[in-house]
Structures are given as structure tokens and as C-alpha cells.
Amino acid sequence: MRRSVLALVATLVLAGCGQGADSIDNAAGDRLETASIAAGLVADPAAVPLDGMWSRDTDRMCILPRGAKDGDPVRRIGVVLDYGEGQGCVASGTLERSVTELKVALGACRFRARFDGDSIQFPAGLPTECNTLCTGRATLSALIVERISTSVAEARALRSPGGKALCVD
């Protein structure tokens, strides 16, 4: 009986360990990031422009203003993943930014991506509607790209394997 009580107490103590540590760690991390941004050591994601070309390996993304209206927060976005032999994804649509969160709409495929100032990350779990944008075993899930250029001309030049311009109205 005594062993059972000790085991129960030990289990409860261990279960309580770390309950709140995440919030403490996150708060400390948030403070460190804020201080780093203020000191100029880390780019402020809210101040970094999105327009241009983004890439990682064979994955490509273009982001450009949607139209001629200045100050329009909505951007055109195009994505090409080409792994050859019928494996890839092609998508175009719109993107709307809210500091570090990006609302992406690629037709019926709608989700929120993350922007940290250096890279854009799609979530690992995407709606099933996103599957129609890919062939073979390719997926847009967990896509990560970094900026390679702020050139509007380069972003406009991104095309699907079939030749369709992806970031042009």
C-alpha cells in the first residue's frame, strides 16, 4: 500500500514538472527576440518586404503586388515545386500579410503560413483541397523558402513547367 501511495505521489510530482515551463520559456524567448529586433541584430518581420523571389532547392515562389493600387496589402503568390517525372506542384493565388502570419489562398487551398523575416514556412498539415495542386507524391506541406531576390522582373518571370506566368495579373 505504501509503495502504491509513493508511486502515485511520484507520478503526480513528475506530471506537474514542466507544466508552465513552456510559457516561461516562450516569454523569455519573446523578450529576447524583441530585444534583438530593437538592437538591430535580427530583422523585424513586420518591416521586411515580401515582394520578390523565394527559393529552396528546386522549390520556387514569387510574390508581387496584386495590382496597380498602392498600399494594397494583398499580394500575388505563385509556387512551383518540380521534382521531375510527374512529381511536383503548381499553384497561384493571393497572399495577405499580418506581421508574421500570411493568409494564403491558392484557389480552394487556403491556409495560414508563417514568416519570420528570413523564410516563409507552410504548415505541415494543409487542407485536402491543396492536394489537387500537386501531382505524384509531391506536396506543398511544410514548404520552406528563403528570399533569393527582391527583383520584380525575376518574380514576374516565374513560370509553371507548362509556361504559365504565376505572379502576373
The predicted-structure confidence for 23-78, as pLDDT tens digits, reads as follows 455 677 767 767 766 776 666 666 688 999 999 999 999 999 987 566 678 999 99
**pLDDT over 70 for what percent of the chain?**
73
C-alpha to C-alpha distance for 118 and 129, rounded to whole angstroms: 28
Strand partners, 161: none
Strand partners, 96: 74, 103
Query: Is there a domain that residue 62 lies in?
Result: yes
Query: Is there a domain that residue 169 lies in?
Result: no
15 and 76 assigned to the same domain = no
pLDDT at 26: 67
Question: Structural domain tally of the chain?
Answer: 2
pLDDT at 5: 43
CA angle 26, 30, 33 (to 5 degrees): 135
Cβ partners under 8 Å of residue 133, min gap 6: 89, 90, 91, 106, 107, 109, 140
Query: Is there a domain that residue 133 lies in?
Result: yes
Query: Is there a domain that residue 47 lies in?
Result: no
19 and 66 assigned to the same domain = no
100 pLDDT more than 60:
yes
Domain of 140 in residue numbering reads as 52-157
33 and 57 assigned to the same domain = no
Residue 144 grid cell:
520552406
C-alpha to C-alpha distance for 38 and 61, rounded to whole angstroms: 29
Cβ partners under 8 Å of residue 59, min gap 6: 79, 80, 81, 143, 145
Residue 154 grid cell:
525575376
Mean residue pLDDT of the chain comes to 83
Query: Is there a domain that residue 168 lies in?
Result: no
61 and 134 assigned to the same domain = yes
pLDDT at 12: 47
Query: Is there a domain that residue 6 lies in?
Result: yes
59 and 32 assigned to the same domain = no
- Average pLDDT of the residues in 9-35: 58
Amino acid found at 19: Q
* 71 secondary structure, DSSP code: T
Query: Is there a domain that residue 31 lies in?
Result: yes
57 and 33 assigned to the same domain = no
pLDDT tier, 168 (very low <50, low <70, confident <90, very high otherwise): confident
76 and 119 assigned to the same domain = yes
- pTM to 2 decimals? 0.74
Helix (H), strand (E) counts: the chain: 3, 9
86 and 113 assigned to the same domain = yes
